[in-house]
Structure 1
Amino acid sequence: MFALRVARKSVRSYTFLVIFGCTLIAFTLAPISITESIGTPLNTNFSAYLPLSYQAHWHAPISLIPSTQKPLPRPIPRPAHTFRPDGLLEVNPDGRHPILDLIARAEQEWDAKLAHVSQTLPEAVHEYRRRYARAPPPGFDKWWAYVKKHNVQLPDEYDQIHLDLAPFWGIDPVPLEAIQRDWEAHVHSYTLAKSSPLGPLHVGNETLPEDEAARDRLLIGANQLIDLLVEVEDDLPTFRAVFSPHDNPNVFITHDMRRRAVEAGERGEYIDPLNEDPAPFTSGWIHACPLDSVARNPLRSPSTTQKPKTFIYDHLQAMDPCAHPSHLSQHGQFLAHGTGPSANPFPVPQFSYCSSPLHADIRVPVPLSWVDDVEGERDEEGAWEKKEDERLLWRGLNTGIHHASDRPWRDSQRDRLVEIAQRTDGSVEVLVMDDHGDGEGMKVEEMKKARMNPAMLDIAFAGSPSQCEPETCRELEEGFEWRRRMSVRDAGRYKYVLDVDGNGWSSRFKRLITTNSLVFKSTVYPEWFTDRLSPWVHYIPIQIDYSDLYDALLFFRGDPSGRGAHADLGAKIARSGREWSRAFWRKEDMTAYLFRLFLEYARVMSEDRDSLNFEL
């Protein structure tokens, strides 16, 4: 009897345990909703109270519990855009908005560049050898000490120096020195010289106008370069460097000459351009392009074919007229010389304030118009959120080409820009966000310029016509709306600003990118810092024909009513641009570039160049 009672108790105990266990599992796998007296549902999940071993090993019942919720459909991946070899992204109409992809790609590449930098002198030497297949020049350790002392960023990114000096490695230094010496007599030039190891850097020669005011004006750049190098003057080797004091480049050689010189240098051999048979007389821009380039082999497509929408992803490649021959008919740098100048018979070591992809000038950082900071931008007053005007701003003179009846000035960069902005007849097809689906798609809409331009653009020539013949000056004055010059503080009210070339490179870019405004930039001049900043991270690149200008502005600003705006992304890029300017474009950064440039230049000009190496 006693055994029967025990058995009955055991059965009741086991029954209770089974019921309790099932209840606990039910609570665990199917969260219940408890409604309090206030009527608010509380989702409660008791899985936190289960032993970890239970959670780790118990899987099957999850799939057995029926669900009343329909599973969310997985988003269908959008097709990719095409990244073309000419530096342009070609838009796939079914893809997501291309600027989202451009920003994501650029941020990833910039972060990777920042993450892979040399931290020590041995690492810098190793990276130098990897990139250029030779040892660094003497004095590299002193240059590295300057870089570390002044916290110069991206100490490996000096490929532009290598590209500019590459042809001279294929020319014997004896005739190369003769070429340099003869070029000192070139009209309108000055020569920076370090005549002895302990001597000062000075203007060793000049062929400038006799007018004292003009001469002093043309020597401003020379004096600023000397000032930049004061701290490292004693560590510079001896050299003589001829400079052009003007805005634009003028050394032009054929692609064949450059190729022969570069390839000879890579083999450790020389060409002798002074003594070999002269090359056939050549003139024209396309002779600076490879034989297999688009400029030499123009694509023939039916005139009725609609061009696809494109955006820049590689700004350096997108500047190249060899890949984009339309630049030759859309920019004063090329239009002013017609089909192109006559080629120099050999490379000439001339330094210039800027150079285009078709020129062979050695570019330098120029302190002209350099600013450390901008009035009204360094405090809350200049913050993006405080800027009131959401139109795209540009003011400037009608520079870029001489305006005369026999010049195609209407096709130059600045004149076309003002024409686009101030002519409000007609409409334009623009890329806008598509609100359907995931919100990242796009569609093409036709918008009237009469609605868009006044609401979105504040673009005009400033002051009065210049660089023009009297009759053409009157035509300019009557044909365009001219507005007053604008102060830096007044310009600071605009969230969006545009930077375009003038007679040469734009010296205002430093000021613009130091503001908290979003900078749109259109140029054909790669600069010393081109490898050291990133489009879509620090600024917005715009094509020379402005075909992407409306589309890019609409993405950030939205349409005239603000629909489709991505102001948060615009503010982020604007801030990144200002931070880059304050950290990567200081005077110390320009000094580091010049220091390394003259170390390299002095070696390639020396008869002992092959033995002038820095070794650890």
Structure 2
Amino acid sequence: MIRLSQLFRSSALGAIHKPGRGQLVPAFIVFAAGTGFAGHHGTDTTPKKPWNRPPSNHPIDELISEARLEFNTLMGKRSLTLEQAALRYRERRGRHPPPGFDKWFAAAVEQDAVIVEEFFDRIHHDINPFWGLAPHEIRRRAHGQAFMVLVRNGKARPAQDDKETHFRQQQWLELVQKIAPNLPDLDMFINHMDESRVMVPWDKLSEHVAAEQKSRRLLPPGQAITKYSGVADVDDAPRHDPVWLHGETHKFWDHVRDACPPDSPGRKVSALPTFNVSIEFPMAPMPEYTYKGYVKNFTASQDPCLQPHLRGMHGTFIEAISMSTTEQLMPLFGECKLPQNNEMLIPSAMYLAEGTRKEYSGGGARGGPWRNKKDGVMWRGGASGARNKADHWWHNHRHRFVQMLNGTTLSAVEAGDEDAGPTFRLLPAESEFYPFTARKEGTLGAWVATWADVEFAAMFCDPPDTGPDGKPLKTCKHTDAFMKVSAGVPFERMYDWKYLPDVDGNSFSGRYRAFLQSTSLPLKSTIYQEWHDTRLMPWVHFVPFDNSYLDIYGIMEYFFNHHDEEAERIALEGQAWANAVLRKEDMLLYTWRLLLEYARVMDDNRDRLAYVEDLMR
């Protein structure tokens, strides 16, 4: 298998000249566009389906084409020297890089990392609000919290009063230990929960962001300093205790709403007073982020503020498993968050522990050739995402996902029995969206049954149903009439299928990186953000779909109907890209750079701390 890093090493510039175009094109793009993949020659593996081929100007064709052009442009910005990296940092951030930037870049070059400044937008989105807090206040808020990683004198350790190291904390501790010799002293307060925890109301956060923008300045190089002050002044300080909100899981939307922009649709609606009502299912795609029914802006598609219907259609807003949220800006690190949350994102502990947590990856193998895979969709998982209760289970997103990909349920709804599918609604036959034959003719259920293998492996009832022996059952009495529980599928067997959808659980899905590194095609729907989002391009490395799941049928109809090669291309290009930019080396480099920024923003001399050596030569 050809790896993307090898392709970049094939040229000193990381790009090759494409004849007749007069421009540099990243080697990866030319490789992907100019060569065929295994499975494209010989036997025709295109699925034969009982409907007419869609028009050649299918919206997904346009989305793929535009995404490739955008990715091509982005890759043209790759920094290959320290001087380029520092220049592009200053152009994009409006200030000098932090001290230690040169050592970080040298390590990136040594690890053959792909450095594009836009890949690190996530860091600055997360850090910038803290420029609106006094440095001492940031240090004070971080000190003495539970689940801490401390860096002192080039060494990382857990806080002394931590009686045991949580799994997530241990993974991040080991990561920071590898880079600690290159870090100033600092305190990392780490979120060990599934749910994100810091959510500052919009008005207050806007003040912090405005303060950061006002502080941007490229000070004269002669005024810069490189020595960090450290955090010793708070070592003996009492722990800061913000107000943590608990027990409002069923009203969580109201806190999200307060973090939405004033003119957004989500700001205008409150949490549902009760969930013992029918769902409010959108009967058309959201124009804010879709193009002719399909996701065009993946970042916007993650935003609940643009989708007020999600207050009754995603488990996060129904009744999450736990809640411990503060509206005060706390320097908390976590592995995922809603767009409205304010944690600083670091790579998931599940990704870091891939070698020991095979339930999230399946081990080292990532599937065989595309042509040998089953031509369909595979998903197994638990009914997580919210408490699975008899009075609101039909509002949970995973229940909806399973029902919408169950042929029997779809056929019953098509026949007029809406009660068979309380989690969703079907578009009327006359709808202008997704105009393929199976939907128009009312044979959607029969068609989906031919390619979807999507079932729960456990229901997680709340409270648990028990059998005659008193032991908890995998099934739930309140959902037995709507869905069955199937045997689990070993993770590595999922790679036998071409299409692997990935949806949220209690928060993000720990499977995503493994899916990206596989020879199957990831289909991704989420409202949660992760560290790697700015280095992945939808329609180039994965296929996005809406959190209503309204578009999933149109997506599958496109790929099944004479677009198998497009699916394979995205799958294999995504795999090559993931193996180049989602490596553990990349996670380490991302965390290293994040912690340099974090150490600077909480330093009393933060306005003068800067790397400027490249300007002094």
TM-score higher than 0.5: yes
Report deviation, 1:149: 0.5
For residues 575 and 332 of structure 2, the distance between their equivalents in structure 1, rounded to whole angstroms, comes to: 32
For residues 529 and 327 of structure 2, the distance between their equivalents in structure 1, rounded to whole angstroms, comes to: 24
Report deviation, 1:527: 1.0
Structure-2-length-normalised TM-score: 0.71
CA contact (8 A) 1:253 1:359 kept: yes
Q: 1:263 to 1:353 in 2, by over 3 A?
A: same
Query: 1:363 pairs with 337, 342, 345, which one?
Result: 345
Query: Aligned residue for 1:307?
Result: 284
Match status 1:165 vs 2:127 = yes
SS in structure 2 of the partner of residue 611 of structure 1:
coil
For residues 552 and 158 of structure 1, the distance between their equivalents in structure 2, rounded to whole angstroms, comes to: 30
Query: Aligned residue for 1:426?
Result: 413
Match status 1:108 vs 2:69 = yes
CA deviations on 1:40-80 (whole Å, 9 max, x unpaired) are xxxxxxxxxxxxxxxxxxxxxxxxxxxxxxxxxxxxxxxxx
Q: 1:169 to 1:304 in 2, by over 3 A?
A: closer
CA contact (8 A) 1:349 1:362 kept: yes
CA deviations on 1:535-592 (whole Å, 9 max, x unpaired) are 10111101000010000011112xxxxxx23101011011011111211111100000
Query: Aligned residue for 2:192?
Result: 245
Query: Aligned residue for 2:566?
Result: 569
Match status 1:129 vs 2:111 = no
Look up the equivalent residue of 1:201 and give its one-letter code.
A
Query: 2:106 pairs with 122, 126, 145, which one?
Result: 145
Query: 2:168 pairs with 212, 221, 234, which one?
Result: 221
Report deviation, 1:398: 0.7
Report deviation, 1:98: 0.3
CA contact (8 A) 1:554 1:565 kept: no
Query: Aligned residue for 1:501?
Result: 504
CA deviations on 1:320-372 (whole Å, 9 max, x unpaired) are 1112222222211222269x989745311111121111111111112414548
Match status 1:204 vs 2:151 = no
SS in structure 2 of the partner of residue 240 of structure 1:
strand
For residues 327 and 65 of structure 2, the distance between their equivalents in structure 1, rounded to whole angstroms, comes to: 45
Query: Aligned residue for 1:38?
Result: none
Query: Aligned residue for 1:382?
Result: 368
Query: Aligned residue for 2:257?
Result: 286
For residues 364 and 262 of structure 2, the distance between their equivalents in structure 1, rounded to whole angstroms, comes to: 51
Report deviation, 1:180: 2.0
Report deviation, 1:256: 0.6
CA contact (8 A) 1:191 1:240 kept: yes
For residues 288 and 304 of structure 1, the distance between their equivalents in structure 2, rounded to whole angstroms, comes to: 23
Query: Aligned residue for 2:542?
Result: 539
Query: Aligned residue for 1:517?
Result: 520
Q: 1:523 to 1:205 in 2, by over 3 A?
A: farther
Report deviation, 1:404: 2.4
TM-align CA RMSD: 3.1
Query: Aligned residue for 2:604?
Result: 607
CA contact (8 A) 1:555 1:566 kept: yes
Look up the equivalent residue of 1:177 and give its one-letter code.
R
Report deviation, 1:317: 1.3
For residues 175 and 552 of structure 1, the distance between their equivalents in structure 2, rounded to whole angstroms, comes to: 49
CA contact (8 A) 2:282 2:548 kept: no
For residues 159 and 503 of structure 2, the distance between their equivalents in structure 1, rounded to whole angstroms, comes to: 34
Report deviation, 1:376: 8.2
SS in structure 2 of the partner of residue 391 of structure 1:
strand
Look up the equivalent residue of 1:101 and give its one-letter code.
E
Query: 1:180 pairs with 142, 148, 163, which one?
Result: 142
Q: 1:342 to 1:591 in 2, by over 3 A?
A: closer
CA contact (8 A) 1:253 1:343 kept: no
For residues 214 and 499 of structure 2, the distance between their equivalents in structure 1, rounded to whole angstroms, comes to: 49
Match status 1:586 vs 2:588 = no
Query: Aligned residue for 2:454?
Result: 459
For residues 220 and 337 of structure 1, the distance between their equivalents in structure 2, rounded to whole angstroms, comes to: 21
Query: Aligned residue for 2:81?
Result: 120
Structure-1-length-normalised TM-score: 0.72
Query: Aligned residue for 1:492?
Result: 495
Q: Which has the higher strand share?
A: 1
Query: Aligned residue for 2:395?
Result: 411
Look up the equivalent residue of 1:158 and give its one-letter code.
F
Q: 1:361 to 1:263 in 2, by over 3 A?
A: same
SS in structure 1 of the partner of residue 380 of structure 2:
strand
Give runs of aligned pairs for residues 81-100 of structure 1, distance below 5 A: 96-100=57-61
Q: 1:466 to 1:171 in 2, by over 3 A?
A: same
Report deviation, 1:205: 5.2
Identity of aligned residues (%): 29
For residues 542 and 450 of structure 1, the distance between their equivalents in structure 2, rounded to whole angstroms, comes to: 19
Query: Aligned residue for 1:450?
Result: 445
Match status 1:260 vs 2:222 = no
SS in structure 1 of the partner of residue 350 of structure 2:
coil
Look up the equivalent residue of 2:310 and give its one-letter code.
H
Match status 1:296 vs 2:282 = no
CA contact (8 A) 1:97 1:442 kept: no
Look up the equivalent residue of 2:401 and give its one-letter code.
L
CA deviations on 1:494-532 (whole Å, 9 max, x unpaired) are 111111111111101111122111111110111111110
CA contact (8 A) 1:465 1:477 kept: no
Q: Which consecutive residues of structure 2, in runs of 5 or more, have no partner in the other structure?
A: 1-53, 217-239, 241-251, 270-279, 286-291, 356-360, 415-425, 430-434, 466-474
Look up the equivalent residue of 2:284 and give its one-letter code.
K
CA contact (8 A) 2:260 2:340 kept: yes
Q: Which consecutive residues of structure 1, in runs of 5 or more, have no partner in the other structure?
A: 1-92, 275-281, 432-440, 558-563
Query: Aligned residue for 1:349?
Result: 331
For residues 385 and 430 of structure 1, the distance between their equivalents in structure 2, rounded to whole angstroms, comes to: 36
Query: Aligned residue for 1:55?
Result: none
CA contact (8 A) 1:285 1:341 kept: no
